[in-house]
Every structure is written in structure tokens, then in C-alpha cells.
């Protein structure tokens, strides 16, 4: 395979589909981040920390189950969600006041 554009032509329609799915995922991430903003407000109001370990594990277990039911490898879903959760926790920590001791 030479890697020329003409050799990749059969991939073009699939790339369009992948691009459309990627756009949907970005839209869902934006929606999720909007909810995270509301979560931050509630955590600020109630003095809750960004990291709630039990909730993290609950989310991951739920995602693994949904992934398995949907024909997605659960380890792929868990890897993606843990990365997203880690980013979200760091984002919340930057926005929340320092915990009082």
C-alpha cells in the first residue's frame, strides 16, 4: 500500500461518518460540562470536595455495564471515562475553594 490519497478513497465515506460521530461526541461533552458547572455550584454551596471516590467507582461500574450491553469493550469505556473523570476532578479543584482544615 503506497499511502497515496487515491489508495485511501474507499475510506472517505467512513471518515465522513466518523467525523459526524466525533461531532456528536463533542456536543455531548459540552452538555456534560454544562452539568459539571452546576455540580461545582452545589459542591461550593455545600462544601463538598471535587473528588468523591465512591461516586467515581459507581460511574465507572455503570459505564462498564452499559458498554458491555452495547457491544463496546468495557475496558475501552473505563479507560475513556477514567481519563474524563480525572480531567473533570482537576477542573473542579481549580474552581472550588481550598478545603478548610
- Assess whether pLDDT exceeds 50 at residue 1: no
Burial 22-39 (b: 16+ CB within 10 A, else e): eeeeeeeeeeeeeeeeee
Which one, of 83, 77, 80, 93, lies nearest residue 36 by Cα?
93
Q: Report, as an integer, the average pLDDT of 55-71.
A: 98
Return d(Cα 18, Cα 46) in angstroms, integer.
Answer: 41
Specify the range with the lowest mean pLDDT, choosing from 29-43, 62-76, 87-101.
87-101
- Assess whether pLDDT exceeds 90 at residue 8: no
For the chain, the domain total comes to 1
**What is the reported pLDDT for 5?**
63
Domain containing residue 13: CATH number: 1.20.59.10
**What is the reported pLDDT for 99?**
64
Q: Is residue 74 part of a domain?
A: yes
Q: Is residue 70 part of a domain?
A: yes
Q: Is residue 72 part of a domain?
A: yes
* Confidence band for 87, pLDDT divided at 50, 70 and 90: very high
Return d(Cα 87, Cα 55) in angstroms, integer.
Answer: 15
Give the predicted TM-score (pTM) of the model. 0.85
Structural domain boundaries enclosing 76: 5-95
Q: Is residue 76 part of a domain?
A: yes
Amino acid at each position: 500500500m503506497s499511502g497515496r490519497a487515491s489508495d485511501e478513497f474507499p475510506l472517505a465515506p467512513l471518515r465522513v461518518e466518523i467525523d459526524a460521530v466525533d461531532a456528536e461526541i463533542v456536543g455531548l461533552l459540552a452538555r456534560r460540562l454544562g452539568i459539571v458547572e452546576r455540580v461545582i455550584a452545589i459542591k461550593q454551596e455545600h462544601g463538598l470536595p471535587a473528588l468523591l471516590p465512591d461516586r467515581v467507582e459507581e460511574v465507572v461500574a455503570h459505564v462498564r455495564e452499559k458498554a458491555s450491553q452495547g457491544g463496546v469493550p468495557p475496558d475501552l469505556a473505563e479507560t475513556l471515562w477514567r481519563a474524563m473523570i480525572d480531567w473533570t476532578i482537576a477542573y473542579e479543584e481549580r474552581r472550588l475553594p481550598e478545603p478548610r482544615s
